[in-house]
C-alpha cells in the first residue's frame, strides 16, 4: 500500500515517464520515499523543494562513475528529474542481490573517495553539519519546554565548540552519510555508493564519525570490525583524536533531530525521539540502543 499523497506524486511522475506503477513496492520512507518498479527501476521521491538537489545528485552519479568510484546509476533513458507538486522524482537502476558493505569495505571505499579531485564541470556544496538543526528544535510541536530548552543550549554549545577546531587544510569530497547501508555490495563484489544527495566538500571526519560512534557509544560495531575499518582507511582512528567527542556529539544530535522531525506524524518516531533525548541528556547510560526510523 502506497501512502497518500505519495501515491499521487508517484503516479503522475510515472505517467509522465511512461512507467507502470501497478506493482510498485515501497522500500523505504524517510527523507526520501523509495519504490521498486517493474523492469529493475527504482523511483526516489524527494522532499518538497528538492529539485535542485536531485539534479545535482544525478550529476554526481555520472561524475563518480566516470571517476572510477562506483555509485548507483540513473536510468538515462527516462526524464530526470520529474517534479510533481514541488517534489522531485528520479529514476535509478536497481542493484539486485546486494548486501551492506563490511566496515573494512567502507573504509577502503572512503579512502578512495576522500582523495578524489572535486569536479570541474559543476560545484559541490560545502557540507553543513548544523543545517536545519536549530529549526527542527525550535519548531517541533512534540517537545516539552524542558527538552526544548536543553536541546537549544546543547546546540549552541556544540556550535561554539566546533568553531574552535582549527580550519581544515583542504576540503575533501565526502559522502555525507557514510555507513554500511549506503555502500552496498552486489554479486559482482563491487562496492557501490547509494544516497548521493549529501555528497559535498567537507572534513573527512564527517564520513568517519558514524562508525566511530557506532563502536564507542552504541557497540553496534565490535572492536575487530572497527579496527578493520580504521586499517582499511589508512590507520586514522577518529576515537583517538582530541576532536572526536565534538564530531560525535554533533552527529548524535543530528540523528536525534531527524527523529524529532518525524515525531509529529509517526508515534514510533515520537517515542524514539524522546528516548534519544534522554540518552543525550545522560538519563540513560551507554551503550545506547536506538531504533532505525
Instruction: Among 98-107, 167-176, 219-228, name the one with the lowest average pLDDT.
Output: 167-176
* Digit-coded pLDDT (tens) for 139-189: 999 999 999 999 999 999 999 999 999 987 778 999 999 999 999 999 989
Alpha carbon 87 to its chain centroid, in Å, reads: 18
* Dist. CA 42–CA 29, nearest whole Å: 13
Please write the tens of the pLDDT for every residue from 50-95.
999 999 999 999 999 999 999 999 999 999 999 999 999 999 999 9
Angle among Cα 124, 129, 131 to the nearest 5 degrees reads 85
**Average pLDDT for the chain:** 95
Q: pTM of this prediction?
A: 0.94
Quote the crossing angle between the two packed helices 244-262 and 267-280, to the nearest 10°.
150
CA distance 203 to 180: 19
Amino acid at each position: 500500500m502506497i501512502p497518500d499523497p505519495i501515491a499521487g506524486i508517484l503516479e503522475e511522475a510515472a505517467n509522465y515517464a511512461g512507467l507502470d506503477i501497478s506493482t510498485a513496492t515501497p522500500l523505504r520512507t524517510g527523507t526520501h520515499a523509495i519504490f521498486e518498479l517493474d523492469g529493475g527501476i527504482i523511483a526516489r521521491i524527494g522532499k518538497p523543494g528538492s529539485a535542485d538537489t536531485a539534479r545535482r545528485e544525478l550529476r554526481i552519479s555520472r561524475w563518480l562513475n566516470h571517476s572510477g568510484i562506483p555509485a548507483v546509476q540513473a536510468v538515462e533513458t527516462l526524464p530526470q528529474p520529474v517534479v510533481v507538486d514541488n517534489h522531485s522524482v528520479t529514476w535509478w537502476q536497481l542493484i539486485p542481490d546486494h548486501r551492506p558493505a563490511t566496515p573494512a569495505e567502507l573504509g577502503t571505499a572512503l579512502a578512495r573517495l576522500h582523495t578524489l579531485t572535486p569536479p570541474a564541470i559543476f560545484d559541490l556544496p560545502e557540507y553543513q553539519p548544523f543545517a536545519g538543526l536549530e529549526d527542527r528544535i525550535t519548531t517541533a510541536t512534540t517537545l516539552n519546554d524542558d527538552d526544548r530548552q536543553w536541546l537549544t543550549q546543547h546546540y549552541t554549545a556544540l556550535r561554539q565548540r566546533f568553531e574552535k577546531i582549527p580550519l581544515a587544510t583542504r576540503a575533501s569530497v565526502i559522502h555525507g552519510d557514510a555507513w554500511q547501508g549506503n555502500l552496498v555490495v552486489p554479486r559482482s563484489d563491487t562496492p557501490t555508493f547509494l544516497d548521493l544527495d549529501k555528497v559535498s566538500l567537507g572534513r573527512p571526519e564527517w564520513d568517519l564519525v558514524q562508525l566511530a560512534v557506532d563502536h564507542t557509544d552504541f557497540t553496534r560495531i565490535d572492536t575487530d570490525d572497527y579496527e578493520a575499518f580504521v586499517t582499511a582507511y589508512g590507520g586514522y582512528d577518529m576515537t583517538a583524536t582530541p576532536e572526536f567527542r565534538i564530531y560525535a556529539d554533533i552527529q548524535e544530535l543530528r540523528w536525534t533531530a531527524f527523529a524529532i522531525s518525524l515525531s509529529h506524524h509517526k508515534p514510533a518516531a515520537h517515542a524514539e525521539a524522546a528516548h534519544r533525548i534522554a540518552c543525550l541528556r545522560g538519563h540513560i547510560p551507554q551503550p545506547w540502543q536506538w531504533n532505525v526510523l
